[in-house]
Amino acid sequence: MVERSAQSIGCDTSQRKALAQLFQEAAVGQLEDKLKMALSTKSSKHSGLMLGPDPASIKHVVCSGGVASNAFLRERVTRCLDQIGRSDVTVLFPP
């Protein structure tokens, strides 16, 4: 999708690479935000509204599908868990 859009507006190779990197960062950023919302024990205690399981009870996260083998995604998901203090959560990626 990014490649086709970049070609249609006449981007050169370096611009296409930069555009693809920005797209990847934005997509992974959205996943990080959702992961933080689901697993952050701090935000759930203060909101007063519990939707779903207690975040502290979640100990495993499964990343699946074609993009789950993306090295950038793997690194960012792992770093995200570290940032929110959830080293107790195991992330399962496909081989």
Q: Token pair of 12, please?
A: 């050169």
Q: Is residue 3 pLDDT above 60, yes or no? A: yes
The radius of gyration computed from the CA coordinates of the chain, to the nearest angstrom, equals 17
Per the listing, tokens 């697993």 go with: 39
Q: Token pair of 88, please?
A: 């107790």
For residue range 39-82, list pLDDT tens digits in order. 987 754 555 565 678 888 999 999 998 888 899 999 999 999 99
- The pLDDT score that the predictor gives to residue 1 is 62
Q: Token pair of 49, please?
A: 């509204």
CA–chain centroid gap for 14, Å, is: 25
- The pLDDT score that the predictor gives to residue 35 is 93
Q: Is residue 6 pLDDT above 70, yes or no? A: no
- The pLDDT score that the predictor gives to residue 82 is 94
DSSP assignment letter at 52? S
